[in-house]
A and B are shown apart, each in its own frame.
Chain A
């Protein structure tokens, strides 16, 4: 039977060689594939929340069996003109904002004079915070300055907003603190 070069090689690739297209033995590769545990992670863009630079991040996430999305890894985005894949040490650990084994999952309280921390409820902690803020404010509130001018300000409490604040959180915090009369307001993003 006369066959052309093209016909011959076509027959070879399709029918004779088997296995891989070029006839490589795939037995061992198939065995490895079966025991290899390969999982997929989705890539998403994000921004580092820590400072005003606004470094671009790539986040790797995976949907768990329970339907929740887990954050696996964060790295600098090499395509970003802002950071070109670079992150500062703090930004490189921004994963721990969401996931950290060392995070304390409940409020702890150490009473005045006590050496040990003890676990308390959120109700207790929030109530205690509110009482202390109120007590500090009342103790250091200045209604008039030395010249008799009405100032109504609290000089005994300062507030530092976190760089992970969203704009809305920053607005809310400022409103609240100004309402208390605080004048010492700062934001970590400026530090």
Chain B
């Protein structure tokens, strides 16, 4: 399930030393996800993630995260700050075969957790979380399918569907914001690939207009920020297919911004690098993120590592 992620992250760790720390942690998380990936229950997945995934994510972060993040998580665990909700798990009588709560989150235990403001529930509810909490929640929920949020469905509201007329760039499956965009690869260089968006919340991918801002819907003021040709005296960015140079550091990565809302997304061009895994490659674009921040743009959604 995560073989491509693992292989690509290992490759990019070698290629981009500036992001070695990020990919080191990502690879550790992949290990954690793979260890539980095929055991995710179809119901009560969030409670199950509390018990089985979050501890592994904490472990991986403490062992392979940057020193300050690892220390913060270790201290948090040591102080029991993450323990009550995350690790206690449901009482034995309420547990299913995989340690899940009986029922799909609607039982007394699940209710108690939500009311206690558990980390994952807070993230699922769309609360604004501090970066470390957001990281832990996202890393934990990576293996939990969210296209039909269990709480929402249990409430009888049916699957969450965004209205594309009112929220142009929201995920049609869960209503989440896009994490990144990428261009599909084509065999023919005369064909421009479709633009796809990748949901930050449920990892769903959907086709979206190539010239519309996913945040505000603006169609007229789009800018692509790309590396300029070294030999070009006029500083022309290398845009479009087939124009990447050998000396480009990020030949397949660029930022797409909206001049109306000042939001941007990293765009991965699979036409230039068909082996790219968009949500992994996007983690390498830290210098581009810093450049965009310097110029007053804000990423629509920070990625898992907070960039």
Contact = CB atoms under 8 A, between A and B. Distances in A.
Contact of A9 (B18, B66, B132, B255): B132
B88 to A, nearest CB: 14
Contact of A73 (B131, B133, B239): B239
Interface in B21-78: 21-22, 65-69, 72, 75-76
B224 to A, nearest CB: 5
Nearest to B131: A21
Nearest to A62: B236
B130 A10 contact: yes
A133 interface: no
A72 B66 contact: no
A72 B67 CA distance: 44
Interface in A80-116: 84-89, 92
B291 A78 contact: no
A100 to B, nearest CB: 15
B306 A12 contact: no
Interface stretch (A26-34, A123-131, A169-177, A182-190): A26-34
Interface residues of B, number: 64
A37 B223 contact: no
Interface in B221-247: 221-228, 230, 234-237, 239-241, 243
A4 B226 contact: no
Q: Give the secondary structure class of A's interface.
A: mixed
A89 B190 CA distance: 7
**In this complex, which of A10, A64, A73 has the most chain B Cβ atoms within 10 angstroms of its Cβ?**
A73
A138 interface: no
Given A41-B239, A77-B210, A16 B68 contact: yes
B282 to A, nearest CB: 14
B146 interface: no
Contact of B226 (A32, A38, A64, A87): A38
Contacts of B111: none
Contact of B223 (A17, A41, A89): A41
Given A20-B307, A37-B227, A60-B240, A32 B190 contact: no
B67 A38 contact: no
A94 to B, nearest CB: 12
A78 B192 contact: yes
Interface residues of A, number: 56
B249 interface: yes
A16 B234 CA distance: 42
B76 A79 contact: no
B190 A88 contact: yes
B190 A41 contact: no
Interface string A1-43: 0011110111011101110111111101111110011111111
B288 interface: yes
B237 A22 contact: no
B79 interface: yes
B157 interface: no
Interface string B123-166: 00000001111010000000000000000000000000000000
**In this complex, which of A3, A32, A42 has the most chain B Cβ atoms within 10 angstroms of its Cβ?**
A32
B81 interface: yes
B194 interface: yes
A154 interface: no
Given A13-B131, A32-B249, A73 B191 contact: no
Contact of A20 (B75, B230, B306): B306
Q: Which 10 pairs from chain A and chain B are nearest by CB?
A: A23-B68, A5-B81, A73-B240, A21-B131, A85-B192, A28-B18, A21-B306, A39-B237, A33-B287, A43-B222
28 contacts: A3-B81, A8-B72, A8-B81, A12-B132, A13-B130, A14-B130, A22-B132, A22-B135, A23-B67, A23-B68, A26-B290, A29-B287, A31-B18, A32-B18, A32-B249, A38-B288, A39-B237, A41-B239, A58-B192, A62-B236, A62-B237, A65-B234, A70-B236, A76-B191, A78-B193, A86-B188, A87-B190, A88-B190
